[in-house]
Chain A
Amino acid sequence: MRSPSSSLVPLLFLSSIFISVFASEQLQQPFQFGEMSAPMYTLPPLPYAYNALEPHISAQIMELHHSKHHQTYITNLNAALKAQAEAVHTSDITTQVSLQQAIRFNAGGHINHSLFWQNLCPAKSADAMSSSAPQLVKQIKATWGDEEKFRDAFKASLLGIQGSGWGWLVKIEGGKEPRLVIATTKDQDPVVGKGEVPIFGVDMWEHAYYLQYLNGKAAYVENIWNVINWKTAEERYLGSQADAFKILKASL
């Protein structure tokens, strides 16, 4: 084995700059109302500052994740939707079909990240306590026995993802009673099936934790619990699928 040329020093806290930007200065995309118009999505502002989730998620990760990664999904989604609108206008069905994967991936990225930012909050906030979600917690206990068992099951699911993906707590409607399940999805596949309401999600792409946790994703999966927004989770649990996705309409 070669000797390492650089030692594993605790990470890049280069960004000593205090980042208080709320990332709300996004350029508004021009909105066309012509025949070939397609919806143009814009980056939803974070509901907190980039450094608000420290020390659990670093400001550097949050800034890149929100202003670069999420923005790229939106940019590519808008381009794909525009191309699709043109293909619909010209009755070009092969192009429409060929665009589907790009739309699924980039729309999924936009949907997932929009939900994710909302289901996180600063650790010191009262919303970060599971007591902010009494009804949901009741159902979690009924399903998994206790909160601890649920968290363990959720963590195991997250760590079992092979490659990029997400873990979600999902409410399934349609039966006699709504039930809760833990679901993992690959890449940017969103939770949008009939009767599925995403309660909260955890991004397991490496970009979500690598600058801070490196290969130690188990620590990320442990620490993320400190910044889960249970108030939002409760609202989604008590609401409908459309309610959970209202953030997307707002980003149009």
Chain B
Amino acid sequence: MSAILRTSALRSALRASAPTVSTRAGLAGTTFVRGKATLPDLPYDYGALEPAISGKIMELHHSKHHQTYVTSFNNASEQLADARQREDIQAQIVLQPLINFHGGGHINHTLFWENLAPTSQGGGEPPKGALSKAINDSYGSLDAFKEKFNAALAGIQGSGWAWLVQDTQTESVQIKTYANQDPVVGQFRPILGIDAWEHAYYLQYQNRKAEYFKAVWDVVNWKAAEKRFK
């Protein structure tokens, strides 16, 4: 799935003027209109994840932060297309970090909204089937996994994300942290991500981020994670 999204994002980055089929984006919510990334609708209301995540956080996070990544990604994509047209290699290289950061921000948040859900829509219900087995094989139990995941989140020095990823070579799952908006691409497939940027929790939890990491499991949508797991 990430490979499809990546291709799509890359394609829209490289040929911003070319039409891109939104349904091939690989994520239900990720749409690309005429090569432009657009903010996906949340699959639930802003207040639906309370009390784990406040409605105010969700509103700002989705309508402001995510929107800024989308807008900035489109800007960088256009500039990249121009630079390609001009065959200006230096300009293309200068734009790479912006593509990575804003494109990553768009991808990460899109995946994040999908892998959360209100408890009324299955949020917090433990994983089943093959993903559950893979987690138990790697971590012993779901609780042990959550403990390790929360330790990884707490260990991020600065802004970043923690992900449960699947190694596309070995198919096993593991926890990885990524700095800033570095997306899960390449060898690893994103299964479940938690945003550890301060904007993801500060209005509600301030410096008590461990409380956010603990509470967020109440609204994790394991069904979405299962669909990503191969």
Chain A residues near B (Cβ < 8 Å): 1-6, 8, 12, 64, 68-69, 72, 101, 105, 162-165, 186-188, 205-207, 210-211, 214-215
Contacts and interface: CB of A to CB of B under 8 A. Distances in A.
A186 B97 contact: no
Interface residues of B, number: 32
28 contacts: A1-B41, A2-B42, A2-B44, A2-B45, A2-B46, A3-B45, A4-B63, A5-B45, A5-B47, A5-B55, A6-B54, A6-B56, A12-B203, A105-B157, A163-B159, A163-B160, A165-B158, A186-B158, A187-B157, A205-B159, A206-B198, A210-B198, A210-B199, A211-B202, A211-B206, A214-B64, A214-B203, A215-B60
Contacts of A2: 41-42, 44-46
Contacts of A8: 56, 59-60
A3 B46 CA distance: 8
B68 interface: yes
Contacts of A5: 45-48, 55, 59
B181 interface: yes
Given A205-B159, A206-B202, 18 more contacts: A2-B42, A4-B46, A5-B46, A5-B47, A5-B48, A6-B46, A6-B55, A6-B59, A68-B207, A162-B180, A163-B158, A164-B159, A164-B198, A186-B158, A187-B157, A188-B157, A206-B199, A215-B64
Given A162-B97, A163-B179, A4 B159 contact: no
Contacts of A187: 157-158
B88 to A, nearest CB: 20
Closest 9 CB pairs of A and B: A5-B47, A163-B180, A187-B158, A206-B198, A164-B158, A5-B55, A163-B159, A68-B207, A215-B64
Given A2-B46, A8-B60, A206-B199, A215 B55 contact: no
A186 B156 CA distance: 13
Secondary structure of the A contact surface, majority rule: loop
Interface of B: 41-42, 44-48, 54-56, 59-60, 63-65, 68, 97, 101, 157-160, 179-181, 197-199, 202-203, 206-207
B199 A215 contact: yes
Contacts of A69: 207
Given A163-B179, A188-B158, A64 B206 contact: yes
A188 B55 CA distance: 30
Q: Which of A68, A162, A210, A214 has the most CB of B within 10 A?
A: A162
Nearest to A186: B158
Contacts of B65: 215
Contacts of B207: 64, 68-69, 72, 207
B204 to A, nearest CB: 11
A163 B101 CA distance: 9
B5 to A, nearest CB: 20
A4 B68 contact: no
A6 B48 CA distance: 11
B41 A214 contact: no
A4 B202 contact: no
B203 A4 contact: no
B31 to A, nearest CB: 13
A8 B47 CA distance: 13
B198 A205 contact: yes
Q: Which of A64, A163, A165, A211 has the most CB of B within 10 A?
A: A163
A138 to B, nearest CB: 33
A69 B54 CA distance: 22
B198 A207 contact: yes
A67 to B, nearest CB: 9
A156 to B, nearest CB: 14
Contacts of B59: 4-6, 8
